[in-house]
Amino acid sequence: MIRDTIRPGTILRVLVLVALIAFLVAPERFAGLLAPLTTNNAPPIYNQGSLVDLTLSHLFTVAISTLAAAVVAVSLAVFVTRPAGREFLALSRAVVNIGQTFPPVAVLALSVPAMGFGEAPTRMALFLYGLLPIFENTLVGLSTLPPAVVEAASAMGMTGRQRLLKVELPLAMPLILEGLRLSAVIGLATATIGSTVAAKGLGEVIIAGLLSNNLAFIVQGGVITGVLAVLISDGFQAVARQAAKKSGTRPQTET
Amino acid sequence: MTMLADAGPDEPAASWRIDRLGVVIALLLVVALALPFATFRATRIASGTGLLLHEALPAPAAAAAAAALVAALAGAVTLRRPALRLAAGVLALVALALGVGAAAAFLTPADNPYARIAPGSGFWVGVFAAAMLVTDAMVRLRLGPAGRLIALAMTAALIAALLASGAWSRLSLLAEYRSRADVFWREANTHVILAAGSLAAAVAVGLPLGILAHRVRRLRDPMINVLNVIQTIPSMALFGILIAPLGWIAANVPGAHALGIRGIGMAPAFLALFLYSLLPMVANTIVGLNGVSRAVVDAARGMGLTGLQRLFQVEMPLALPVILTGIRIVLVQNIGLATVAALIGGGGFGVFLFQGLGQTATDLILLGALPPVALAFAAAVVLDAVIEISGRGKP
């Protein structure tokens, strides 16, 4: 087995992650770094709640919404690619394409009249919007399988269910993971805006900074969310590369 | 991924068979009829009372609306020809649109100018079901780009006619608009400038960068990686982070303040949208140029075209559809993201959206959320059509 050589990019990411954790655990040690951004002796470190708590609830909101979206979206994509769901295929494609033109912030705002304030509308919006990229990518993955592979599986006597679980889904996995990555990244961004509807998350830090004109709050909130998004996105890409290697398909990069 | 254009493979039509999609849509329409059609509130932020169709409209109008919806419901299940299904969907949408306007006029008490009548959940479920029926019919009709543009223009004309005729004038959303009409158009202007201006800047910078990265292979990966990281940063975070350097520039660079550069406001929003736009522009330019076949370039060279002539007369025109796809991604994305700009004082429709959230005023939220949704949708339909037309007759 050939080991991956450790790339400089990986080292950089590990260092960034360590710095992020250090900042979250002991933010007051970094006060000197952020103090030049404040005026009138304003606090340089967010003081209206624990940054660790905010980060964890932010991540939790994104994680459960993306997970729920993944379960539903993959099931729907499987359904419309089976003979029983064929009638829904064309419409579901069109709905996903139209849905992706909807701004996530509009979906979030429109969930509020229906669900009130707090975590619920944020999770709902993240879930709804998260469905789209996962569904689209799963659909592409399932409908672009090499026909020879599917035929070979049938010829081996596999039932429809075995073919789906042992051949089709593993082959589509890199694309499904890319869909998950897109959902998670959009979710992280939308959850930040969720703080305007009273969801607990890192957006609170940025908004507190905007309201009290404290640049240090804005920058630390922005940098934490930005770093989290980049690290999570990279993590998904690494897992997708592994899945592509395992299933023997070429890594699909989206450019 | 052209909206409304990529129909899946058609199955052989059975002579008579219940349309399962039609059944789902019909069930949704039944649910719509059972839910409140309109909501009555004594003031704009009071909690509302739901009113069913027959309570929200005078009896003859309620009967007409219900008949139209039932006809559409029956059509969804039994009709198979896409044109007829489209007609059924449009009938339902028109009945809902006229019905909700009439309900607002009927329910507004003469002595209470503060009362607000808004569409109820039944209306929205009905619109969703009818929109599904219309979308499915449009996909099956396989309209060409011109047909889709005409359909979009007709929809826009219909909505404009409904707004101009006063059929909706009693609806709470329009009451909300009337009390801030000047501000609405000013913010609409800001929104368009933010979205389209940052797109123009990204085209001006992204195309040369893409061409450069196409020519100089070594630059390609680092450039794409950096732009990828920027694209990943959440919008509110990037808006926030940019406040710091722009604030510093405004305070310390002479003349910057006079140019409109500020820590908060439009400048950081514009810059953030521009940065987000670079990745799709650069990446699609590279992909488009890579897709031009070597043989074509060699032939052009054989004809004696210089490098620049080859670029502008051969390579760029052939790469155009892919570059236009980048522009579509950017425009749709920016129309949405410009909504967030309001959080840092950048203006745009987000002003109403976030004000509405702050005041728990649903109508104000809708006033801020619906225009960007409509704009993004229209931009996507128009650019999809342009991309398809530009790609014709090309390998």
**What ipTM was estimated for this complex?**
0.83
Is there a domain that residue B58 lies in? yes
Q: Among residues B173, B189, B208, which one ends one of the domains?
A: B173
Higher-pLDDT residue of B239 and B93 is: B93
Same domain, B148 and B267: no
- CATH number, domain of B246, equals 1.10.3720.10
Asked if pLDDT for residue A24 goes beyond 80, the answer is yes
Is there a domain that residue A156 lies in? yes
Same domain, B352 and B238: yes
How big, in percent rounded to 5, are the helix, strand and coil portions of chain A? 80, 0, 20
Lowest mean pLDDT segment, chosen from A55-59, A81-85, B244-248: B244-248
Same domain, B133 and B251: no
Asked if pLDDT for residue A208 goes beyond 70, the answer is yes
Is there a domain that residue B4 lies in? no
Nearest chain A Cα to B372, which residue? A103
Over pLDDT 90: what percentage of chain B?
51
Q: Among residues B112, B142, B173, which one ends one of the domains?
A: B173
Same domain, B252 and B143: no
Same domain, B134 and B189: no
Asked if pLDDT for residue B14 goes beyond 60, the answer is no
Query: With an 8 Å Cβ cutoff, are B376 and A101 in contact?
Result: yes
CA distance A196 to chain B (A): 8
Same domain, B230 and B355: yes
Is there a domain that residue A42 lies in? no
Is there a domain that residue B27 lies in? yes
Query: With an 8 Å Cβ cutoff, are A109 and B369 in contact?
Result: yes
Cβ A142 vs Cβ A172: under 8 Å:
yes
Asked if pLDDT for residue B1 goes beyond 50, the answer is no
Is there a domain that residue A78 lies in? yes
Looking at residues B40-68, what average pLDDT do you find?
87
Q: Domain range spanning residue A129? A: 48-247
B:115-144 residues touching chain A, CB 8 A cutoff: 132, 135-136, 138-140
Looking at residues B148-172, what average pLDDT do you find?
91
| Number of domains present in the structure of chain B | 2
- Specify the DSSP class assigned to residue A197: G
Over pLDDT 70: what percentage of chain A?
95
What digits encode the pLDDT tens for the residues A132-177?
Answer: 999 999 999 998 888 888 888 888 888 888 888 888 898 899 999 9
Is there a domain that residue A172 lies in? yes
Going by pLDDT thresholds of 50, 70 and 90, the confidence category of residue B154 is: very high
Asked if pLDDT for residue B87 goes beyond 80, the answer is yes
Is there a domain that residue A29 lies in? no
Looking at residues B364-370, what average pLDDT do you find?
92
Same domain, B368 and B330: yes
Q: Among residues B110, B141, B173, which one ends one of the domains?
A: B173
Q: What is the dihedral of CA B209, B215, B216, B218, to 10 degrees?
A: 90
Lowest mean pLDDT segment, chosen from B89-93, B300-304, B322-326: B300-304
Query: Which among A95, A103, A189 has CB closest to B335?
Result: A103
Looking at residues A231-238, what average pLDDT do you find?
91
What digits encode the pLDDT tens for the residues B33-49?
Answer: 999 999 888 877 777 88
Is there a domain that residue B67 lies in? yes
- CATH number, domain of A228, equals 1.10.3720.10
Mean pLDDT for all residues in chain A: 86
Read off φ and ψ for residue B376, nearest 5 degrees.
-65, -40
Same domain, B160 and B187: no
Is there a domain that residue B14 lies in? no
Cα separation of B121 and B323, whole Å? 41
Please give the pLDDT value at position B4. Answer: 56
Same domain, B131 and B255: no
Query: With an 8 Å Cβ cutoff, are A255 and B2 in contact?
Result: no
Query: With an 8 Å Cβ cutoff, are A101 and B3 in contact?
Result: yes
Query: With an 8 Å Cβ cutoff, are A97 and B232 in contact?
Result: no
Same domain, B155 and B186: no
The order of strands in the sheet holding B38-41 is B49-51, B38-41, B116-119
Looking at residues A239-254, what average pLDDT do you find?
70
Is there a domain that residue A206 lies in? yes
Is there a domain that residue B54 lies in? yes
Looking at residues B8-12, what average pLDDT do you find?
46
Please give the pLDDT value at position B202. Answer: 95
Query: Which among A91, A192, A219 has CB closest to B234?
Result: A192
Cα separation of A201 and A182, whole Å? 20
Query: With an 8 Å Cβ cutoff, are A219 and B244 in contact?
Result: yes
Mutation pick from A91, A227, A253 vs chain B, by most beta carbons of B within 10 Å, is A91
Is there a domain that residue B13 lies in? no
By three-state DSSP, how is residue B117 classified? strand
Q: What is the DSSP string of B160-194?
A: HHHHHHTTTTTBHHHHHHHTTHHHHHHHHHHHHHH
Tokens of B201: 């800047």
Q: Domain range spanning residue B155? A: 20-173
Cβ B234 vs Cβ B275: under 8 Å:
no
Cβ B234 vs Cβ A104: under 8 Å:
no
Q: What does each C-alpha distance from B88 to A18, B136, B162, B368 come to in angstroms?
A: 60, 12, 20, 31
- Specify the DSSP class assigned to residue A67: H
Residues written for chain B? 395
Tokens of B382: 């128009």
Is there a domain that residue A35 lies in? no
Mean pLDDT for all residues in chain B: 87
| Number of domains present in the structure of chain A | 1
What digits encode the pLDDT tens for the residues B271-309?
Answer: 999 999 999 999 999 999 998 888 988 899 888 888 888
Is there a domain that residue B31 lies in? yes
Please give the pLDDT value at position B262. Answer: 67
Going by pLDDT thresholds of 50, 70 and 90, the confidence category of residue B194 is: very high
Same domain, B384 and B318: yes
Using the Cα atoms of residue A85, residue A90, residue A92 and residue A93 in order, give the sign of their dihedral. positive
Higher-pLDDT residue of A1 and B354 is: B354
By three-state DSSP, how is residue B255 classified? coil
Looking at residues B2-12, what average pLDDT do you find?
49
Contacts of A188 in chain B (CB under 8 A): 234
Same domain, B57 and B136: yes
Query: With an 8 Å Cβ cutoff, are B139 and A197 in contact?
Result: no
